């Protein structure tokens, strides 16, 4: 007799026996193996992590990260109040953008004038230390955003200014003059406002309500300085 | 906080009698524990009833005074310790900036606006803005001077930012440190009524630099007369804020030392402002010699 049957035949409550009356004639024989697959409908993330991201091809890994970065670029270009940038933060996008910007902004080594534009290291340091300072500032003011989430948002919102840099470089290939400068000024101003709007859309909710302006002003200063560097870039 | 001697319970026999004796004092009647005390926030406190008010603690101004004394209690290696230096709201920062722009004679900036809540937000970001304002306006004015010259090649002069940053941040931290040390030393010799903490001095210096931001922007105008008038106005506003803040602190001292302190403060301030503005708007020497600017 199996354990279950023994349990059923014990002299328990009459009430309980009446409840379990229908079950007394169930018997589970020991030579029927109980096996099978249990599928739980969970997010596809978990299945990836517990199975084989090690065994997948390199192309899969790179494409997955590139798609995540691309999705975040789309979120910056069409800023809506969404949490995607904050929830799945990554620093690939800011790194790519910062390196691109610094490469394009550095003064050429041919002309080693004493007081020229910034070097690659100076742009890099300004972007990253500026972002760290703004993050520290917003955390000290009492914002409830994590350190890397804030770095992620600030880095991704440099995307419009990088686009402005590319456009300026192309415009500078044409002849120089006031019209040239006006076009560049217009492009930089538009992209600067776009950056501010995008980063405010993501960051504003995490600040305490009576300190929002205090937290947003450093962001304004940061993008203003980067826009200034882009606008005053002159090819040697 | 009340001194030890104030904790003696005074005998108030008759409220009417004490009111008749001291017409200037106010008396508060406190009900029994079963009834809710009817305190309002604006009610003035009597001289002897302060302990009772603090115990009851449902007066807002009581609570803030009680909490203000316990503010900096976290050890310095925790993040919360540094959060206490950023405990300001937007309107408070705006009020402090307004106070630095409009010095009212007789009103002390520290007592009026800071009120034992010094913040580091204002000094830090005002200095950062000033650094970039000076560098950018210097660059722009150089550009405008040479506008139209075919052989002029525009350079962004990025090195000015680093130099300006070093000078301004060094001024905003080292001069308050020196001044605080000096005031502490004089305090040990002469008992002063007014003494400031180091952070309050940093705060005053930081906010007093705000007037230089619009001054630096307006210095783009190439007229010498306009520039010097602007710097005079900025210096008088900013210098008077500093002088009126520190005069009560050195007033009781030897007359000559007090005057020398105030003069030194204003002199250093002049040196910073005029030096920074003139330096940033001066052109490169070889360029200058070539174009005779």
Chain A CB within 8 Å of residue B194 CB: no
Q: Across the interface, do A232 and B88 touch by the CB < 8 Å criterion?
A: no
Q: Do B158 and A122 touch (CB under 8 A)?
A: yes
Taking the Cβ of residue A118 and every Cβ of chain B, the question of whether any pair is shorter than 8 Å is answered with yes
Give pLDDT tens digits for B143-156.
888 777 767 777 77
List the alpha helices (DSSP H) in A33-114. Answer: 44-50, 58-77, 84-87, 92-105
Top mean pLDDT of B46-50, B70-74, B83-87, B231-235 is at B231-235
Which residue among A139, A214, A221 places its CB closest to the CB of B93?
A214
Structure-token pair, residue B151: 């052989």
Evaluate if residue B244 carries a pLDDT over 70.
Answer: yes
Q: What is the DSSP letter of A177?
A: S
CB contact under 8 A, A116 and B139: no
Q: How many CB pairs under 8 A join A and B?
A: 65
Interval B250-276: pLDDT, tens: 777 778 888 888 888 888 888 888 888
Which one of B78, B80, B86, B138 would you mutate to disrupt binding with A, by most A Cβ within 10 Å of its Cβ?
Answer: B86
Cβ of B158 under 8 Å from any chain A Cβ?
yes
Band (pLDDT 50/70/90 cuts) for residue A86 is confident
B163 touching A (Cβ < 8 Å): no
Nearest to A162 by CA among A230, A106, A224, A221: A230
pLDDT grade for A184, boundaries at 50, 70 and 90: very high
B120's CB contacts (< 8 A; 6+ apart) are B85, B86, B199, B202, B203
Contact A222, B129 (CB under 8 A): no
* B160/A214 Cβ within 8 A: no
Task: Check CB contact under 8 Å for B132 and A224.
Answer: yes
Q: Give the span between the Cα atoms of B97 and B208, in whole angstroms.
A: 8
Torsional sign, CA B160, B161, B166, B170: positive
Q: How far apart (Å, rounded) are the C-alpha atoms in residues B196 and A70?
A: 54
Is the pLDDT higher at A95 or at B72? A95
Nearest CA in chain A to B122: A214
Asked if A158 contacts A74 with a C-beta cutoff of 8 angstroms, the reply is: no
Higher pLDDT, A64 or A106: A64
By Cβ distance, the residue of A115, A210, A233 closest to B90 is A210
Q: Which B-chain residues 87-106 have CB contacts (< 8 A) with chain A?
A: 88-91, 93
Task: Name the token pair of A54.
Answer: 């090690």
In this prediction, residues B229-250 reach a mean pLDDT of 88
Query: What is the per-residue pLDDT for A218?
Result: 94
Three-state secondary structure readout of B140-197: HHHHHHCCCCCCCCCCCCCHHHHHHHHHHHHHHHHHHHHHHHHHHHHHHHCCCCCCCC
Domain edges within chain A: 87-108+117-233
Smallest Cβ–Cβ distance between A141 and the set B86, B154, B157 belongs to B86
How many H-runs (helices) and E-runs (strands) does chain B carry?
13, 0
Q: Say if B85 is an interface residue toward chain A (CB within 8 Å).
A: yes
Asked if the model's pLDDT at residue A161 lies above 90, the reply is: yes
Which A-chain residues 1-30 have CB contacts (< 8 A) with chain B?
Answer: none
Per-residue model confidence (pLDDT) at position B196: 83
Which residue among B82, B86, B158 places its CB closest to the CB of A117? B158
Residue B157, min C-alpha distance to chain A (Å): 5
């Amino acid at each position: 007799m199996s354990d279950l049957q023994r349990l059923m035949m014990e002299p328990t409550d009459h009430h309980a026996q009446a409840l379990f009356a229908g079950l007394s004639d169930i018997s589970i024989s020991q030579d029927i193996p109980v096996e099978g697959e249990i599928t739980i409908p969970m997010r596809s993330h978990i299945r990836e992590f517990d199975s084989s991201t090690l065994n997948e091809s390199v192309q899969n890994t790179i494409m997955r990260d590139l798609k995540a970065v691309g999705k975040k670029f789309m979120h910056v270009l069409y800023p809506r109040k969404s949490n995607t940038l904050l929830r799945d933060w990554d620093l690939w996008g800011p790194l790519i953008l910062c390196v691109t910007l610094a490469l394009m902004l550095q003064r050429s080594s041919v002309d080693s004038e004493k007081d020229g534009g910034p070097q690659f290291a100076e742009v890099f340091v300004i972007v990253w230390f500026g972002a760290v300072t703004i993050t520290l500032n917003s955390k000290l003011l009492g914002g409830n955003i994590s350190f890397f989430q804030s770095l992620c948002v600030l880095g991704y919102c440099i995307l419009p200014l990088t686009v402005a840099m590319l456009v300026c470089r192309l415009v500078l290939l044409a002849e120089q003059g006031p019209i040239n400068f006006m076009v560049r000024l217009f492009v930089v101003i538009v992209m600067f406002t776009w950056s501010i709007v995008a980063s405010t859309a993501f960051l504003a909710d995490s600040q305490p309500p009576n300190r929002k302006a205090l937290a947003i002003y450093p962001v304004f200063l940061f993008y203003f300085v980067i826009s200034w560097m882009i606008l005053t870039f002159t090819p040697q | 906080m009340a001194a030890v001697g104030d904790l003696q319970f005074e005998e108030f026999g008759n409220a009417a009698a004490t009111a008749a004796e001291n017409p200037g004092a106010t008396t508060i009647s406190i009900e029994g524990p079963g009834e809710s005390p009817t305190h309002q926030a604006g009610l003035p406190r009597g001289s002897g009833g302060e302990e009772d008010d603090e115990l009851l603690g449902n007066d807002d101004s009581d609570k803030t005074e009680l909490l203000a004394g316990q503010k900096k209690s976290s050890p310095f290696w925790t993040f919360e310790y540094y959060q206490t230096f950023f405990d300001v709201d937007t309107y408070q920062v705006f009020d402090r900036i307004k106070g630095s722009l409009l010095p009212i004679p007789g009103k002390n900036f520290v007592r009026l606006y800071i009120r034992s809540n010094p913040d580091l937000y204002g000094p830090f970001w005002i200095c950062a803005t000033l650094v970039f304002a000076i560098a950018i306006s210097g660059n722009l004015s150089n550009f405008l001077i040479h506008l139209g010259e075919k052989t002029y090649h525009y350079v962004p002069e990025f090195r000015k930012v680093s130099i300006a940053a070093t000078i301004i941040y060094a001024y905003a931290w080292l001069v308050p440190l020196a001044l605080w040390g000096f005031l502490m030393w004089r305090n040990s010799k002469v008992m002063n009524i007014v003494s400031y903490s180091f952070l309050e001095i940093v705060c005053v210096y930081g906010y007093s630099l705000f007037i230089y931001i619009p001054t630096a922007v307006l210095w783009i105008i190439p007229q010498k007369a306009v520039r010097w008038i602007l710097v005079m106005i900025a210096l008088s506003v900013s210098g008077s804020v500093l002088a009126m803040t520190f005069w009560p602190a050195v007033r009781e001292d030897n007359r000559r030392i007090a005057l020398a302190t105030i003069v030194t403060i204003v002199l250093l301030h002049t040196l910073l402002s005029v030096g920074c503005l003139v330096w940033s708007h001066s052109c490169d020497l070889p360029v200058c010699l070539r174009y005779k600017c």
